[in-house]
Amino acid sequence: MQVTTDGKPKMIDIVDCTGGGDVETTKIVKPTEQDGKKVIEGLSGRKLILGDWANPSDEYRVGIKRAYELFPTDLTKRIKSERRQNYIKKQSHLLSQAQTRLAEFTKKQDTKDDLEKSELEARIETLKSFNTSYEDPGVILDCVVFFDGKDWRAVIDINEDGDLTGIGIFA
């Protein structure tokens, strides 16, 4: 049962577990010079400051990956819960500030139809709606791939700060 009738080995199934191709890096960009540093725009929209790397073509391939797609389910649930709690704290503080400003404004004004009052009321409603429509995309990883003349190299912005100068390069 291990070989075919003509003696060739049988293959029932092949599974690629390398992760190759998980991040699409088909978009090619060239760096610009800003403050004496090479900079490209990542797919997240962040400006990415490049390190002093050998890259004869001066072309970089950019991609993007949500970190949640890499984490185990339990870890993702825990991180989402923690980030939601932090979001609610910040959001509650902003809502409280807006409500306080509206109350102070109402005490000082005689007119009910004031433009500033409408803006404050709209701000409160918007802040309330953010709580119900909250969705956490998680950490967004900008990925940069380039050919150094010998090997393909990859750099990932794990800090989400756009500064790739101090990050190690993967071969």
Residue 111 inside a domain? The answer is yes
Residue 162 inside a domain? The answer is no
Judge whether 141 and 62 are in contact, CB under 8 Å.
Answer: no
Residue 124 inside a domain? The answer is yes
The total number of structural domains that make up the chain = 1
- Distance separating alpha carbons of residues 141 and 157, to the nearest angstrom: 6
pTM higher than 0.75: no
Each residue's pLDDT expressed in tens, for the chain with a length of 171 residues: 678 888 888 776 666 666 667 899 999 999 999 999 999 999 999 999 999 999 999 999 999 999 999 889 999 999 999 999 999 999 999 999 999 998 888 888 665 567 888 888 999 999 988 888 888 889 999 999 999 999 999 999 988 999 999 876 665
Residue 113 inside a domain? The answer is yes
102-117 CB burial, b ≥16 within 10 A, e <16: beeeeeeeeeeeeeee
Residue 30 inside a domain? The answer is no
Residue 114 inside a domain? The answer is yes
Residue 167 inside a domain? The answer is no
Helix (H, G, I), strand (E, B) or coil at 66: strand
Residue 61 inside a domain? The answer is no
Judge whether 39 and 33 are in contact, CB under 8 Å.
Answer: yes
User: The domain containing residue 102 runs over which residues?
Assistant: 73-132
